[in-house]
Amino acid sequence: MSVYGYLCGVPDANCSGGKLSTDQSLGHSKYHGDRKGAFLCHKRYLISQGFIQKAPREFINPENGYIRILPKQSKFGGKLRMGKEQQRGMPQETKKNSCARGIIY
């Protein structure tokens, strides 16, 4: 198992990731082992919601015509530290004013 897990930003009912015991305030109970898995899960979710894929990372919302562009696979997902027992599933410390890439709530 990798040292980190990644959140995809998809509701748990639609997420294909593995189960994770986390703090309830985090709001997610599933994670992916790598960024590519999180990206593909989010991509599948958008297509299931009716978005039309225009390019590998571009999706068009048919309701209003807006285009959603996802980050590159290598930068996608919220990173979780999967280490010590007391800190398992906690968000990784990030720089000030930064956010988890690609996660839309």
The predicted-structure confidence for 37-83, as pLDDT tens digits, reads as follows: 999 999 999 999 999 999 999 999 999 999 999 999 999 988 887 66
Residue 53 forms part of a structural domain: yes
Q: Tens of pLDDT along 17-26?
A: 888 765 566 6
Structurally, how many domains does the chain consist of?
A: 1
DSSP for residue 72:
P
Of 8, 24, 17, 4, nearest to 100 (Cα)?
A: 8
Residue 24 placed within a domain: yes
Show the tokens assigned to 65: 């015509």
Rounded Cα distance, 67 and 65, in Å: 6
Which range of residues forms the domain containing residue 85? 4-91
Asked whether residue 21 is domain-assigned, the answer is yes
Give 3-state DSSP helix, strand, coil % of the chain, rounded to 5: 25, 25, 50
- Domain contains 69: yes
**What's the predicted TM-score (pTM) here?**
0.73
Pairing between strand 67-69 and 58-60? antiparallel
